[in-house]
Chains A and B, each alone.
Chain A
Amino acid sequence: MSTAALHAEHEAHHHHKESFISKYVFSMDHKMISKQFLITGIIMGMIGMIMSLLFRLQLAWPDDQFSIIETLLGKWGVDGKLDPNFYMGLVTIHGTIMVFYVLTAGLSGTFSNLLIPLQVGARDMASPFMNMLSYWFFFMSSVVLLISVGVETGPASGGWTVYPPLSALDKAMPGSGLGMTLWLVAIILFIVSSLLGGINYISTVLNQRTKGMSMNRLPLTIWAFFFTAVLGLLSFPVLLGAGLFLIFDRSFGTSFYLSDIYLEGVGALENIGGSPVLYQHLFWFLGHPEVYIILMPALGITSEVISCNARKPIFGYTAMVISLLGIAFLSFIVWGHHMFITGMNPFLGSVFMILTLIIAVPSAVKAFNYITTLWKGNLRFTPAMLFSIGLVSFFISGGLTGIYLGNAALDIQMHDSYFVVAHFHLVMGSAAIFGMFAGIYQWFPRMYGRMMNNTLGYFHFWITFICAYLVFFPMHFMGLAGVPRRYYQFTLVEQFDVWVDVNKLITVAAIVAGAAQLLFLYNFFVSIFRGKKSPQNPWGANTLEWSAPIDVRLHGNWPGDLPTVYRGPYEYSRPDREEDFFPQYVPDESAPEVLEPEKAKSAPAEKEVEEESSVFFAAIKRVFGLG
């Protein structure tokens, strides 16, 4: 029976059961949840970007007035001048939004949700209900964070790391009042969301793989999402603890982080015995894995997109998985490199330095493997492919500067300078957002059954790519000249005068890059409704998601039985095949299971898989009335 016929039958039975609310709002279908994550992420991303443009205006033209600032910010932008307190607020919320809401939830939430069940061959996540909760906690968190921007005393403004005592004392700066309380509430809701999602991703990858989908046949996307979820599960609870202690210090008079403080206008405080450095340890115990929580899904997406569009197997599959594992493991024991100059014991500093620089080895392996995958490939430049290559470029240029910053000695000078800003915006900001764009362009047909416009995609890529380098490359030199970050303006220091022009260039490039995102928004939203209908497997990809019908939305993904997996996901351009791809789900008539005997052996036993999926399917039928 053809897919369409099967679907028609399915529709006839069950269409009436889905109301608008259960289909679009409180949906438990992983595909719908991924769209919810994506669109919320895009909206948050736009807000975060506009914030960055506002403070870039201030940095480029500190003496000029912009009526738009007064229009948008009201009392924080009287006479078109950005208020210094609100500048700090913008910097803080920009960082928070980008790190957590766009690049953690928007990226990992979207693609883990979309791809894990589809690529491992599952009907849905292990717990669709928890998955739904995960999105709605994220949604609430986003709402609380956005509300915090509008409160009278301004949003949290101690930087996205919100170090106490600055963030703990509401008299230390206006943003540490209600704004900070709401920030903490938002982050705690976010952590709940992230944990609910992470548990689901892990259990789905481990338990719900279809017949023949052994771990060593998993696409690298799934490996990346899996490690990401493990990192999140182990590190987010620590941030929860840090946040709770901070709430206690702020509201209940405890002294976890506070000691020996005299505050202007208040006097000596009662708190003694706490340590602000304790917070930094707790924060960065999450904060550093968080960097990889952001980057690893992007790397996974890139592996898949590059291999598919180079029509060539990913080079060194095993090495890619091992390097991901290495990065994931090391990311837990390097947090101290954010704290070299906090007065930490110098010996501890050198331990963290050694561990940190080891990360460069698996990262180098990844970069070289990407480049080798391109070598002698047949590169099809879809926008997704371009964004993936852009990611590799950023990953290299941003990653190399990590070798400077991970070195405790060099960090003395570079800590908190613009060099750091350049480093992390390239390696984790731009690289991860490019991974997200690559994912969107690649799997848009999978999500909406339509294609996005390629030409607009090309312009989107090249403008964004060039502008991102124009924005962040000069910042390295500013940092090396000793320009500190998070300064409201530089005109009060004569030495920084030489950077006036550079700041203007950066701001103009940022505005152009921002405008280029309008192309993307237009392309994205118009293509949802007007895009060309996509064929079943538009990119000629090997992975399972393209075997599930894309022209209809089916809760349960496959109309009939679950597909069976016969080989690894990267069998592109096999010499013995006419076509340049060989999907995982297509049986090999000529010589089944001969080419990869090793992998076939480790496939799970047939009976076990059948049982698992049928029990699961029965559960789904019960919950959704699909049976």
Chain B
Amino acid sequence: MTITLNRVLRNSLSKKVLTAFSLILAPVFAMAADVVEPPQEFNPSAWDWSTLLTLALMLLVILVIARAFDIGSLTEKISGKRLVSPHKINGWVAIIFLVLGLIGVWYEMVYHGKYVLLNDAASEHGAVYDSMFMWTFGFTFVVFIITEVLLFYFMFRYSYDENRKALYYFHNNKLEVIWTVVPAIVLTFLVLRGFNTWSKITSADNEDAQEIEVFAYQFGWKARYAGADNKFGDNSFTFISGSNPLGLAVEGSVDELSQSLTDEIAGLEALIASADDSAAVWSARLKNFEAQGRQRAYPEEYKKIREMAMDAESGAYVRGLEKEIKRKSTNIKRIAKFRADQNMFNKAAYDDKVVTEIVLVKNQPYVFKFRARDVIHSAYMPEFRAQMNCVPGMSTQFAFTPIKTTDEARAEKGNPEYDYFLYCNKICGAAHYNMKIKITVVENQAQYETWLAQQAPVVAPVEAPAVEADPATDTTSQATPSVALN
């Protein structure tokens, strides 16, 4: 008796919880519906049917399960014995899930599969890549369907029956050997093919390839073309300054940087000399601030003053300045060392062109040399099936041959605005999501040369040692590399 009562109570308890649960969920759906469909005129054609349909399907599934349990517990109460076992219900739900799931997979492949980058590669090795993908997809999809169908079918077929006893079946060596060896053979095939594909892509023939340097920084990209001499000028991170964002070996700009560092050191030394006075000033200000009782009204300001006073008193302020001086003088020393090397400053950098767009010629092999200024970035060119990390202190490269011009891609996609981009694909800071550079593939060499001619060289070709030359005249954005660029 008590057991029955308990069960009834517990059933109503779980029902209460479920009601509360749906009440919690209701605003979620309402919110979703609200944002998906801002209030507007009744216009079913503008509705986002796929989302609504999916939501409806989800609700339906939940309802079906709930009904099934309701019926189960109701009949149990009436007849006093278990008519519908939860095992049978779960078996049925498994089958429903399997069917709906397979429909979902089909739906995804039809409606979202069309956006998948496949068979439309804009680079030569793209076709090899895509065929590797299709082989892998073929095998894995078959295995996926077979195993998942078996799994859920067995859930349905062998759900609990009191009168049945499970098969006492420990192992079957033949079966186990089969499903060790068959996957092994399939994988051997995939490994060999993958190995082949990987070697083909990574050992692309660089003989007549044109080199382009791609330079990554927080948060943007620059590309460098070698210019008329077809030779890149040397570079070093110690040469980087606002006017020389790539740190190229250009005498004028490097000497300027060296000079300004020297000036800055002098300024810092002056600050250290007056540190005692400034400590007194800060602590006086802090006392004054506290005496006036303004801590509460201006917490931010108070915090700043207190920090400054504390730093001044503990010597952290001076230590910070000394560290800065050391860093700057190391930089000067390194510049001086490089500066003595005439091979480095051979003026090869003068005619290099630093640009904010990458222009490629169709069917021309390229080798991209990647460099990073501050943190790791990753140059990701999905349409070209290309990606390589850009690592500070290390040179990486990736070679490919574009085979489809931007115009052709536009025609194919039916979108006149379509462009290729190189995205950053390694977490690099707050503006990571907006770090990209446009890639344009043109039909022939002439178009490329026209474009290149419009780009200004690093040092304007005036026949004089470029003392006065401003190395960055081509784009205004170069002076402020901190802004995310398009």
Interface size, chain A (Cβ < 8 Å)? 139
Cβ-defined contact, A260 with B393, below 8 A: yes
Q: Is residue A488 contacting chain B, with contact meaning CB distance below 8 A?
A: yes
Which residue of A159, A272, A400, A469 contacts B144 across the interface (Cβ within 8 Å)? A400
A615 at the interface (CB under 8 A from B): no
Chain A residue numbers with a CB within 8 Å of B183 are 360-361, 364-365
**Contact (Cβ within 8 A) A416 B378:** yes
Question: With contacts defined as CB atoms under 8 Å apart, how many contacts are there between chain A and chain B in the complex?
Answer: 404
- Whether A262 touches B155, Cβ cut-off 8 Å, given contacts A312-B167, A381-B87, A407-B194, is no
- Complex-state Cα separation, A579 to B137, whole angstroms: 46
Within 8 Å CB of A403, what residues of B? 136, 139-140, 187, 190
Please report whether the interface of chain A is mostly helix, strand, loop or mixed according to DSSP.
helix
Of A158, A313, A376, A416, the residue contacting B158 (CB under 8 A) is A376
Q: Which stretch from B310-318, B325-333, B351-359, B466-474 is at the chain A interface?
A: B325-333
CB B338 to nearest CB in A, in angstroms, measures 12
- A578 CB to closest chain B CB (Å) equals 10
CB nearest to A272 among chain B residues: B393
Contacts of A498 in B (CB 8 A): 115
Annotate A364-379 by CB proximity to B: 1 below 8 A, 0 otherwise. 1101110110111111
Complex: chain B residue closest to A461, CB-CB: B90
Partner of A357, one of B187, B199, B482: B187
Known: A158-B427, A165-B374, A481-B117. A318 touches B161 (CB 8 A): no
Contact A349 B198 (CB under 8 A): yes
State which of A259, A264, A369, A573 has its C-beta within 8 Å of the C-beta of B165: A573
Please name all residues of chain A whose beta carbon is closer than 8 Å to the beta carbon of B270 when the two chains form the complex.
none
Taking a contact as CB atoms under 8 Å apart, the answer to whether A374 and B14 are in contact is no
B40 to chain A, nearest CB (A): 16
Query: Which residues of chain A have C-beta atoms less than 8 A from B319's C-beta?
Result: none
Tell yes or no: A183 within 8 A of B by CB. no
Q: How far is the CA of A173 from the CA of B375 in the complex (A)?
A: 10
Q: Name B25's contact: one of A268, A453, A515 (CB within 8 Å).
A: A515
Q: Is the CB of B147 within 8 A of A371?
A: yes
Say how far A26's CB is from chain B's closest CB, in angstroms: 35
Q: Does A166 contact B (CB under 8 A)?
A: yes
**Chain B residues in 8 Å Cβ range of A353:** 191, 194-195, 198
B 246-259 to A, binary, CB cutoff 8 A, 1 in contact else 0:
01000000000000
Nearest CB of A to B262, in Å: 13
Q: CB-nearest residue of chain A relative to B431?
A: A84
- Verify if A393 is at the interface (C-beta below 8 Å from B): yes
Q: Are A317 and B327 in contact (CB under 8 A)?
A: no
Per the bound structure, the CA–CA distance linking A261 and B421 in Å amounts to: 26
Do the beta carbons of B35 and A313 come within 8 Å of each other? Answer: no
Output the nearest chain B residue to A362 by Cβ-Cβ distance.
Answer: B180
Interface hit among B61-69, B225-233, B285-293, B439-447: B61-69
Do A166 and B140 touch (CB < 8 A)?
no
Q: Is B277 an interface residue (CB 8 A)?
A: no
The verdict on A459 contacting chain B, using a C-beta distance below 8 Å, is yes
Residue of B at shortest CB range from A166?
B375
Which of B46-54, B76-84, B206-214, B450-458 is the contact stretch? B46-54
- Among A27-35, A285-293, A338-346, the stretch in contact with B: A338-346
B429 at the interface (CB under 8 A from A): yes
> Any chain A CB within 8 A of the CB of B337?
no
What 0/1 readout, one digit per residue, does chain B (79-101) give for beta carbons within 8 Å of chain A? 00000001100110110010001
Q: Which of A165, A367, A504 contacts B35 (CB 8 A)?
A: A504
Option from B117, B388, B428 in Cβ contact (under 8 Å) with A482: B117
Flag if B151 contacts A371 (CB, 8 Å). yes
B interface footprint on A332-360 (CB within 8 Å = 1, 0 otherwise): 00000000011100100110011001101
- A473 and B190 CA atoms in complex are apart in Å by 23
**Does B475 count as interface, using CB distance less than 8 angstroms?**
no
B47 shortest CB reach to chain A, Å: 11
Contact B129–A365 (Cβ < 8 Å) = no
> Would you call B24 and A374 a contact (CB within 8 A)?
no
Partner of B136, one of A60, A404, A474: A404
Q: How far is the CA of A465 from the CA of B158 in the complex (A)?
A: 21
A14 within 8 A of partner (CB):
no
Contact assessment for A488 and B432 in the assembled complex, using a CB-CB cutoff below 8 Å: yes
Decide: B374 and A261 in contact? CB cutoff 8 A.
Answer: yes
In the assembled complex, the Cα of A507 lies from the Cα of B29 at a distance in Å of: 11
Q: Which A residues touch B430, using CB under 8 A?
A: 84-85, 88, 173, 488
Say how far B434's CB is from chain A's closest CB, in angstroms: 5
Contact status B375-A165, CB under 8 Å: yes
Q: Report whether B158 and A409 are in contact in the complex, using a CB–CB cutoff of 8 Å.
A: no
In the complex, the answer to whether B389 meets A580 with C-beta atoms within 8 Å is no
For the complex, give the distance between the alpha carbons of A408 and B193 in Å: 11
- In Å, the complex CA distance between A462 and B94 comes to 9
Q: Which residues of A contact B388 (CB under 8 A)?
A: 341, 343
User: Any chain B CB within 8 A of the CB of A532?
Assistant: yes
**Which residue on B lies nearest to A270, using beta carbons?**
B330
Q: Closest CB-CB distance, A299 to chain B, in whole Å?
A: 15
Does B296 sit within 8 A of A, measured CB to CB? no
Q: Is A447 an interface residue (CB 8 A)?
A: no
Pair B375/A377 contact, Cβ less than 8 Å: no
Cβ-based interface call for A275 (8 A) = yes
Whether A316 touches B158, Cβ cut-off 8 Å, given contacts A261-B373, A417-B425, is no
User: What's the least CB distance linking A217 to chain B, in Å?
Assistant: 13
Residue of B nearest to A171 (CB): B374
Contacts of B424 in A (CB 8 A): 484
A265, A371, A469: which has the most chain B beta carbons within 10 Å?
A: A371
Q: Shortest beta-carbon distance, B139 to chain A, in Å?
A: 8
Whether A368 lies near B179 (C-beta < 8 A) is yes
Known: A88-B430, A367-B147. A413 touches B117 (CB 8 A): yes
Q: Does B5 contact A (CB under 8 A)?
A: no
Q: Is the CB of A412 within 8 A of B433?
A: no
Q: Are B327 and A346 closer than 8 Å at their CB atoms?
A: no
Query: What's the Cα separation between A48 and B407 when bound, in Å?
Result: 46
Residues in B whose Cβ lies below 8 Å from that of A316: 170-172, 176
Q: How far is the CA of A173 from the CA of B369 in the complex (A)?
A: 26
The contact sample of 11 A-B pairs, CB cut-off 8 A, is: A84-B431, A264-B217, A343-B391, A378-B161, A379-B91, A404-B137, A407-B198, A410-B133, A412-B387, A416-B425, A512-B25
Beyond A376-B167, A377-B167, A498-B115, 11 extra complex contacts between A and B, CB < 8 Å: A165-B392, A259-B392, A262-B237, A312-B166, A346-B198, A357-B191, A379-B158, A413-B387, A473-B105, A492-B434, A508-B55
- In the A-B complex, the 10 residue pairs with the smallest Cβ-Cβ separation, listed nearest first, are A482-B382, A259-B393, A343-B396, A346-B202, A409-B197, A260-B393, A381-B90, A487-B433, A312-B166, A477-B112
